[in-house]
Amino acid sequence: MDDVRQLVLAGAVAPWKGAEGRRQRRLSAVNACGLAGNFAAAGMDVVVTDALDEETLAVYRASLEDVLVVRLEVAYECARERAMGRPIHLTWDEFALLHKEQESVAGADLRLDTTDLSVDEAAMSLLAMWAPTG
């Protein structure tokens, strides 16, 4: 989703910055659904990653057929440690806000706690969850 959001060069607003941020967050989800739907119609398996809120979750549910929503969970300290190893474009306050927001979003079909998993272990677990539906 970051790639979709970064298509906006002038006037981009962070998703947590008021009404305009919420509008752009929703618009990004709508556009991601359009892309995902086009790829799925061409016979491809599609994965969309996003930090959901209730509104964007509703967009995905309404727009994508047979959508499987998996909530990836991670302990906050582990998430911070992981973030320190990659480019980060958030302040730590924004990072904490986003992490807390994710804890409050209900409606995922499945959950996966990745705190103690390597990237490969998390990927294998996700594939195992997806296999029965895909």
33-51 pLDDT per residue, tens:
999 999 999 999 899 999 8
Residue 74 has pLDDT above 90, yes or no: yes
3-state per-residue secondary structure call for 49-91: CCCCCHHHHHHHHHHCCCCCCEEEECCHHHHHHHHCCCCCCCC
What is the predicted pLDDT for the residue at 122?
Answer: 95
